[in-house]
């Protein structure tokens, strides 16, 4: 049977050293970089539009079939 296994302290220490939360000042600087922010926002909007277009195309192809 599967049972819970707790990780070693060594593993936890290594992960904590690798995963680093940015300081508040770094986050503020990144948000002020409006060009990168616009690029990310444009990418999200473009990806959403592609997904909606593909979903509509699939619905059109495999959706309701009129018998008439």
Task: Say what the pTM is.
Answer: 0.49
How far is C-alpha 42 from the chain's CA centre?
A: 14
Q: Using one digit for the tens of pLDDT, what is the confidence trace for 7-60?
A: 999 999 999 888 888 888 888 887 788 888 899 999 999 999 999 999 999 999
| Cα–Cα dist 33/35, whole Å | 6
36 Cβ partners below 8 Å, 6+ apart?
Answer: 30
Residue 7: φ, ψ to 5°: -70, 155
Place of tokens 């939360």: 21
Q: How far apart are CA 8 and CA 26, in angstroms?
A: 31
């Amino acid at each position: 049977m599967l049972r819970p296994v707790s990780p070693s302290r060594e593993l936890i220490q290594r992960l904590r050293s690798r995963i680093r939360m940015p300081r508040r000042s770094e986050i503020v600087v990144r948000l002020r970089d409006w060009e990168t922010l616009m690029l990310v926002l444009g990418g999200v909007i473009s990806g959403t539009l592609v997904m909606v277009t593909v979903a509509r195309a699939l619905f059109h192809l495999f959706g309701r079939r009129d018998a008439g």
